[in-house]
Amino acid sequence: MKLQRLQQGSSSVDEYFKELETILTKIDMDESEESKIARFVSGLRREIQGVVELHEYSSLEKLVHLAIKVESQLSKKTHLKNSHNDDYYQSSWKNKNKSSSKNFPHVL
């Protein structure tokens, strides 16, 4: 039952793959490479799954490495996007403070 419900969720691709391997080993399930690939892909987060499905891979090992690369690229994009948004809001706030200080001179 755990194997059928296994999803990557908030885990890294590597952690998710290790969990999948552990479960397969515990239940001594002898699946074909193609079945393992299908099971692995179906449990990936949607954004990683979408990119991985656009590529060709010849083995589960290569697929896992590809998924890890995709995950890394997505996290870099998210980090850059968030840092740009932070810069925008910080600069907007600074500009508002500068303009408001011009409108209201300090009285001593």
The mean pLDDT of 3-31, rounded to a whole number, is 90
**Per-residue tokens: 42:** 């179906």
**Quick check: is 47 in a domain?**
yes
**Quick check: is 83 in a domain?**
no
Give me the domain span that covers residue 16.
2-75
CA separation, residue 58 to residues 55, 64, 69, 103 (Å): 10, 11, 16, 66
**Quick check: is 107 in a domain?**
no
The whole-number pLDDT of residue 51 equals: 95
**Quick check: is 98 in a domain?**
no
**Quick check: is 97 in a domain?**
no
**Quick check: is 86 in a domain?**
no
**Quick check: is 14 in a domain?**
yes
Instruction: Give how many domains the chain has, as a whole number.
Output: 1
In the predicted model, is pLDDT for residue 83 greater than 80?
A: no
pTM, full prediction: 0.69
The whole-number pLDDT of residue 28 equals: 84
**Per-residue tokens: 102:** 């011009």
**Quick check: is 93 in a domain?**
no
The mean pLDDT of 69-80, rounded to a whole number, is 86
Please tell me which residue, 60 or 102, carries the higher pLDDT value: 60
